[in-house]
Structure 1
Amino acid sequence: MIPTSADSQGRPVSRRLIIGGLTGAVAALALPSVANAAMGPDGGLFRCALPAPTGPHPVSTVDLHLVDTRRNDPWAEGEAQPRELMTTVWYPARRNADAPATPHATKGLVPAFDAFAGSLGIPSDAVDWTRISTHTTVGAPTAHSAERMPVVLYTPGRLNPRFLDTTIAAELASHGYAVVAVDHTYEALAVEFPDGRVITPAPALAGDLSPQITKAAVDCRVADLRFVLDQLHLLARGGNPDSEGRTLPTGLGAALDLSSVGVYGHSLGGTAAAEAMRLDRRFRAGAVLEGPLGYGPDDPALFAPVTRTGLRQPFLLAGSSYTPELAFTHTHVPAWHTLWKNSPGWKRDFWTARARHQSYSDFEILIPELAARFGSPPAAVVAGMIGDVDPAGYTGECRAYLTAFFDRSLKRRSRPLLDNPTPDLPDVTRIA
């Protein structure tokens, strides 16, 4: 059963608002300084594999370094400088035996990943973050197709780097989508640029966020998403938006269907995704994966504007039991309830009792593997991050529901799963 949290008139009872990503998952743990984490001589020992995508297409990737010369970075210290972003595009590709494997994390990010692992009690230099298998390659030619591919943008949870949803991004790409994941510079745990710079979180964004800082972070993310979409239009017109002018995969720009664009986000990224849909109708559909839709505690004055305006585009809400007492559904979370009642169009709300906040990221697979190998993180931390849902099974369920949602919303295909959950995917409950 869903934990009860409504008053006698059926209105959601106020709960504390969740704005964290990695920070919410390990709030009781101190994150060591990146400078204190050193790489071992062999780059680490432990390796594992993410689930392979299930669609008919091989998947390849390309990184784009994008510079917004019209906007100063609000988080950079010192002299004004333009906003810089790193993005990764996952796309359906032709088979190419010569294409190198896509790393789950580049070498410049290893110290930051090691530092985070250390906060979970995992020995320093014990994990080879660059060799976690993603079942994808780099730079292969784009798949031949009679139809252009819809585009989906992804905005991660707070501190989560763009690589931490590789599983879902690769799955969507294998089914014919171009998925563009955005690192929000000075928010992500670490962002590596082509010239070797590695940028870690700004002090204002590394600790607990005030409502004012949280709103500024969401506003910056929305501007990032809209700028990235502008750059994709440049790419589709035959231009090269990469700041270094690096060679792009054959056929990528011409294959993009920018009349069918979606967006999804996890945690703070979910709020940004919904706000991007409010402000920019080029985003035709979106999914909020346990995004708070607000900037602080459950005070209506701190709800994101999208909750009051509602959305006309189709959207999907997906939540877990963020804690055993808090069910993330529109019947329990006041900001979600407000968005729901103010949105006249197609919408769905799905809930998973046994999942937790980081179940919507690659941690659903990685954390149990690490715990089995090192005996850490401890069971209580694992349960707090991903619950006790079966990792591989639930990852498959998340991929199935998101693919079905974007198939319906962007490809205009019938997907009965969204109306009638199947016993084959037993963990997900349709709330409405």
Structure 2
Amino acid sequence: MPGPALALTRRSLLSAAVLTAGLGVITRAPTAARPRSAAEGYTLPMPTGPAQLGTVALDLVDRTRTDPWVPGRPVREIMIQIWYPARHVHGHPAAPWLSPGAVPHFCEVFGLPAERVRATVTHGRSGASVYGGCPVVLYSPGLGGDRGTGTVLVEELVSHGYIVVTIDHTHDASEVEFPDGRVEVAAIPPDVDEQIIARAVAVREADTRFVLDQLAVVNAGGNPDAGNRRLPIGLRGAFDLSRIGMFGHSLGGSTAAATMHHDRRIRAGVNLDGTLVGAGAVAGSDRPFLLLSSDHGTEPEDPTWDVFWTSQRGWKRELSLTGSVHGSFTDGVVLYPQAAPELGLTPEQLAGLVGTLHPRRSVTIQRDYLRGFFDQHLRGRRSRLMCGVDPRYPEIRFVR
């Protein structure tokens, strides 16, 4: 089971902070401030774009690899979630934020009430028909993180016409539920060191490149789902695979950088507050890359970011979000403020989890800058946010 030591921050590989993959680990017994209905889930902020959202999960098996974390597993099996602009959503149920079988373990690790997480739904409709021809963005979560921990940012991109594919890195993720009901939990060795972290990045990169291969299969009309479950109408030909981007939080940001260096299919990438691990991650590329950090005040620059900056040959920008912390770049930024009363969190504890910047404002800024970056580099739409300081966003500091 992952614990606080698995938090990968820009300041140290092995953080003793209360963050695991950017979502907080509550180490004290929850105390309810007021009764809650078991059916009342948390609320995710509404995406701002015009498109309705559809989603489908796929079970993918890579028979060319054994599982790197569980000896004896003859294949590598992962789950992905495809989020897409939907043509018609009527009659399709709202997709859960986390699959039901994964909830008990997730809540044991992250301290949130299981009944509320179980009742939390997204704005995506399961299996809705697809509006295609869209640029594609991949998402990799932080170490120990599930594919759903970036839903707030993912939904925003989809509502503005992107297809986003989120990846569960099995046995790295805290838990992954498969369609047959299996729940696979984290199996990375408990004594995490730099060598294991580097190995995790290599595994994640191989996962990502495999996912890109399988998206091409889907786009050509194939169905790589291990159970051959029915795919949504219109998914064939929906992906514009000439315009692929990737972003990730923490170790997911390092994964984005490393994959971009080795795979030219990815045209633009974003690292959200992650130390860059391994030679590939710091080597850069000739394609655009954005570094967005939490607020580290007057602390010195992460040395891995300096190495990357020198190596990066393509367009590059480094920004910092004032009032944010490492966990601000996950869905924890909206979940923990809602849960704070029932968990008995003090204002100081909550700020340690999500920062001092108001959560709604933090989400707005992250969404706008992420979309501005991909609009500019995948769609050719020049974004003023990428050009310099914007008075509408005084919280963003242009580092270089």
TM-score scaled by structure 2? 0.90
In 2, are the aligned partners of 1:139 and 1:249 still within 8 Å (CA)? yes
Aligned to 1:402: 370
Which of 263, 284, 288 is equivalent to 1:310? Answer: 284
How far, CA to CA, are the matches of 2:23 and 2:243 in structure 1? 37
Which of 196, 202, 224 is equivalent to 1:213? Answer: 196
Number of residue pairs matched by the alignment: 383
2:110 is equivalent to residue 113 of structure 1 = no
Aligned to 2:67: 73
How far, CA to CA, are the matches of 1:288 and 1:19 in structure 2? 18
2:279 is equivalent to residue 286 of structure 1 = no
Which of 191, 199, 213 is equivalent to 1:230? Answer: 213
Per-residue Cα deviation, 1:249-278 (whole angstroms, up to 9, x for no partner): 111121111111111111011111100001
How far, CA to CA, are the matches of 1:171 and 1:214 in structure 2? 30
Give the counterpart letter for 1:47 in structure 2: G
Give the counterpart letter for 2:294 in structure 1: S
How big is the shift at 1:98?
Answer: 0.5
Counterparts of 1:265-344 in structure 2 under 5 Å? 265-294=248-277, 303-307=278-282, 309-321=283-295, 326=299, 332-344=301-313
How big is the shift at 1:116?
Answer: 2.5
Question: Does the C-alpha gap of structure 1 residues 45 and 251 become closer, same or farther in structure 2, counting only changes over 3 Å?
Answer: closer
Question: Does the C-alpha gap of structure 1 residues 66 and 173 become closer, same or farther in structure 2, counting only changes over 3 Å?
Answer: same
2:246 is equivalent to residue 253 of structure 1 = no
Aligned to 2:384: 416
2:20 is equivalent to residue 23 of structure 1 = yes
Per-residue Cα deviation, 1:57-90 (whole angstroms, up to 9, x for no partner): 101100010000011011113x232000001011
2:360 is equivalent to residue 366 of structure 1 = no
Per-residue Cα deviation, 1:388-423 (whole angstroms, up to 9, x for no partner): 111011101101111111111111111111113433
Aligned to 2:7: none
In 1, are the aligned partners of 2:25 and 2:109 still within 8 Å (CA)? no
SS of structure 2 residue aligned to 1:429: strand
How far, CA to CA, are the matches of 1:261 and 1:244 in structure 2? 27
In 2, are the aligned partners of 1:70 and 1:82 still within 8 Å (CA)? yes
Question: Does the C-alpha gap of structure 1 residues 377 and 208 become closer, same or farther in structure 2, counting only changes over 3 Å?
Answer: farther
How far, CA to CA, are the matches of 1:52 and 1:361 in structure 2? 16
Per-residue Cα deviation, 1:139-177 (whole angstroms, up to 9, x for no partner): 11112x6xx111111100011111111111111111111
2:361 is equivalent to residue 393 of structure 1 = yes
In 2, are the aligned partners of 1:22 and 1:157 still within 8 Å (CA)? no
In 2, are the aligned partners of 1:321 and 1:352 still within 8 Å (CA)? yes
Which of 170, 173, 178 is equivalent to 1:185? Answer: 170
Give the counterpart letter for 1:230 in structure 2: D
In 2, are the aligned partners of 1:19 and 1:292 still within 8 Å (CA)? no
Give the counterpart letter for 1:321 in structure 2: D
2:371 is equivalent to residue 428 of structure 1 = no
Per-residue Cα deviation, 1:371-392 (whole angstroms, up to 9, x for no partner): 0x31533333322221111101
TM-score scaled by structure 1? 0.83
Which of 118, 121, 132 is equivalent to 1:130? Answer: 118
In 2, are the aligned partners of 1:270 and 1:289 still within 8 Å (CA)? yes
Per-residue Cα deviation, 1:284-343 (whole angstroms, up to 9, x for no partner): 11000111002xxxxxxxx53332x32211000000125x6647xxxx111101111121
How big is the shift at 1:52?
Answer: 0.9
Aligned to 2:324: 355
How far, CA to CA, are the matches of 1:83 and 1:23 in structure 2? 24
How big is the shift at 1:132?
Answer: 1.7
Question: Does the C-alpha gap of structure 1 residues 353 and 391 become closer, same or farther in structure 2, counting only changes over 3 Å?
Answer: same
Question: Does the C-alpha gap of structure 1 residues 306 and 72 become closer, same or farther in structure 2, counting only changes over 3 Å?
Answer: same
How far, CA to CA, are the matches of 1:26 and 1:173 in structure 2? 23
Aligned to 1:156: 141
In 1, are the aligned partners of 2:285 and 2:312 still within 8 Å (CA)? yes
Per-residue Cα deviation, 1:180-238 (whole angstroms, up to 9, x for no partner): 0000000111100000000111051xx35211111110000000000000000111111
Aligned to 1:98: 91
How far, CA to CA, are the matches of 2:47 and 2:229 in structure 1? 27
SS of structure 2 residue aligned to 1:252: coil
Show structure 2 runs of 5+ residues with no match.
Answer: 1-9, 30-35
Question: Does the C-alpha gap of structure 1 residues 416 and 26 become closer, same or farther in structure 2, counting only changes over 3 Å?
Answer: closer
In 1, are the aligned partners of 2:26 and 2:110 still within 8 Å (CA)? no
| Identical-pair percentage | 40
2:348 is equivalent to residue 380 of structure 1 = yes
Aligned to 2:58: 64
How big is the shift at 1:111?
Answer: 0.6
How big is the shift at 1:19?
Answer: 5.6
Give the counterpart letter for 1:282 in structure 2: R
Question: Does the C-alpha gap of structure 1 residues 208 and 157 become closer, same or farther in structure 2, counting only changes over 3 Å?
Answer: farther
Question: Does the C-alpha gap of structure 1 residues 28 and 47 become closer, same or farther in structure 2, counting only changes over 3 Å?
Answer: closer
Question: Does the C-alpha gap of structure 1 residues 29 and 133 become closer, same or farther in structure 2, counting only changes over 3 Å?
Answer: closer
SS of structure 2 residue aligned to 1:420: coil
How far, CA to CA, are the matches of 1:241 and 1:381 in structure 2? 44
Show structure 1 runs of 5+ residues with no match.
Answer: 1-14, 33-41, 295-302
